[in-house]
Amino acid sequence: MRRGTGDHEEFLRATLRHADLLHALAARLAVRPADVSDLVQETYLRAFAAWHSRRPDDVGAWLATICLNVGRDERRRHSRRDTALHDGPLPDIPDRADTAEAALERLGNSWVETALWTLPETQRIAITLMDVCGFTAAQVAAITGAPRGTVLARVHRGRKALALTIRGEPSRAATRGAGDEARR
Amino acid sequence: MKHDAEQLAAAYLTTMRRRGRRRYEAHLLACEPCWREVCLARRGRQLAESSRRAAPPGLRDDIRAAVAAAATAPADRPHARAPIAFAVALTLAMVAGAAMVAQPWRHGPPVPAAPAVLAAAVASYRDNRLPGTAVPGELAPDLTGLRLHLVGAATGQLDGMPVTTFTYMDATGARLAIYRSTRPFPEAAEAHVLGGEDSAWTMRSSGITVICARGTHTMLLLGSDAALVRQAGAVLHAT
């Protein structure tokens, strides 16, 4: 049995616009950076195989769910993930005197990526789905199968941990100072 | 004032409505723990958002090529494992069936059940856990038409209500669960009826769609993918 050309064209029209978000999600799931594109492709192939039997209401969330499952399958195959995470040196932590903006400029994306990988997986996935992919809390709850309150807690704790990782663990005084400054 | 600074800040940065936000912003000016929570979470969100990047330029072309190749290749036999699963289910049913007393499937007296049974079903689905370990005395419904293959089956109890459960999965990892009972499932207060008298009803809970079959209301279908649950309902003549 062969599927028609129209079928796969329709599939691509409906799904290709989500390639950026799937790539972002796959980048936080893949065992190795080189696996990211493979993970995205595998997601599309599984989605295409299922496209025949149904059309999802929310294509982006559906693709993200498949991507999470593909990522989990891959991880099971590469159980050495934990050690791979810490291959290579971590970037230097910026001086505490840096403002967050200056730190961001100096660090660039790679440090943020590294910091994201230091978070527990549930927090990393929740942050990626919400802050990077742009899903709502309700969508993230549906994608991950976690209650919405749990999703919000994971996102919030992950964001805090990310901020603290970038700044170094701030003292209470330092935090208070930053707060006072921001209030002015 | 006693309050959960973390919970309030999390809501403020995501789902809090305008009126609540105004009140909370006034509160922020006087509450250092809340202010600190919000500052840190905002910074974290900004950091996460700064890592957004477009996919590499060649990725879309690679996807097009891979999907086009899959479209022209002979389709795989859908769910080669499904016949095995059904053979296993059939064998189990034959063994168990000989030992079990016939169940009064449609004629059992309706026993009032607490709505907690629905919460228990949702929790069971969400945690991907079967409500018992006994071998079912009935065959699993055939959902291969939806490319769903059987991954689990058990008889047990949900909040004291006897149920037989069948769980399915497709190639994308999407899951569906069917709960059957000899008693009707109670209708949730938030349920939407899908027709007239004795019709099926549906509800959403924690991102999970629930459909209770029409007629005797003795079957529940649960899944995160609403479209899939609806399709399964149609295949099983539940809606």
How far is CA B196 from its chain centroid?
25
Same domain, B41 and B146: no
Note whether B6 contacts A156, CB cutoff 8 Å: yes
b/e A139-170 (16+ beta carbons within 10 angstroms → b): bbbbbbbbbbebbbbbbbbbbbbbbbbbbeeb
Q: How does pLDDT run across A110-147, given as a tens digit for each residue?
A: 778 888 888 999 999 999 999 999 999 999 999 998 89
Same domain, B110 and B217: yes
- Which residues between 147 and 206 in chain B have a beta carbon less than 8 angstroms from any beta carbon of chain A? 147, 170-174, 206
ipTM, two decimals, is: 0.73
Note whether A159 contacts B60, CB cutoff 8 Å: no
Is the pLDDT score of A99 beyond 60? no
Same domain, B142 and B42: no
Residue B25 placed within a domain: yes
B37 touches A: beta carbon within 8 Å: yes
Chain A residues in contact with B29 (beta carbon < 8 A): 183
Domains plus CATH for chain A?
Answer: 1-88 (1.10.1740.10), 92-184 (1.10.10.10)
Chain A residues in contact with B15 (beta carbon < 8 A): 137, 152
Residue B69 placed within a domain: no
Number of domains within chain B: 2
Which residue in the set A7, A66, A162 is minimally distant from B47, CB to CB? A162
Same domain, B40 and B130: no
Same domain, B115 and B180: yes
Residue B28 placed within a domain: yes
The predicted pLDDT at position B193 comes to: 82
Mutate to test the interface with B, among A160, A164, A166 (most CBs of B within 10 A): A160
Which residue in the set A70, A100, A142 is minimally distant from B224, CB to CB? A142
The predicted pLDDT at position A128 comes to: 95
Q: How confident is the model at residue A45 (pLDDT cuts 50, 70, 90)?
A: very high
The predicted pLDDT at position B132 comes to: 85
Residue with tokens 């996807």: B63
* CATH for B184: 3.40.1000
Residue B65 placed within a domain: no
Same domain, B229 and B114: yes
Under a CB-based contact definition with an 8 Å cutoff, are residues A9 and A25 in contact?
no
Least confident of A85-89, A173-177, B77-81: A173-177
Domain holding B122, by residue range, is: 81-235
Same domain, B214 and B118: yes
Same domain, B195 and B107: yes
Measured in angstroms, the CA of A117 and the nearest CA of chain B are apart by 12
At A161, the amino acid letter reads A
Same domain, B35 and B127: no
At B141, the amino acid letter reads P
Residue B229 placed within a domain: yes
Residue B64 placed within a domain: no
C-alpha–C-alpha distance, residues A37 and A64, integer Å: 14
C-alpha–C-alpha distance, residues A140 and A133, integer Å: 10
Same domain, B230 and B133: yes
Residue B164 placed within a domain: yes
Average pLDDT over residues A2-12: 75
Same domain, B129 and B218: yes
Question: Which of B217, B218, B221 lies closest to B203 in space, CA to CA?
Answer: B221
Looking at chain B, which residue has its C-alpha nearest residue A6?
B71
The pTM for the full model equals 0.56
Note whether B71 contacts A157, CB cutoff 8 Å: no
At B151, the amino acid letter reads V
B17 touches A: beta carbon within 8 Å: no
- By percentage, how much of chain A surpasses pLDDT 90? 45
Q: 10-residue block means of pLDDT along chain B (239 residues)?
A: 83 87 90 91 91 87 90 57 53 52 43 68 87 85 89 88 91 90 85 77 86 89 90 88
The predicted pLDDT at position A30 comes to: 86
Residue B55 placed within a domain: no
C-alpha–C-alpha distance, residues B45 and B80, integer Å: 44
Question: HSE (CB half, 13 Å, CA atoms) of B24?
Answer: 23
Same domain, B199 and B101: yes
Question: Which of A117, A95, A116, A108 lies closest to A163 in space, CA to CA?
Answer: A116
B68 touches A: beta carbon within 8 Å: yes
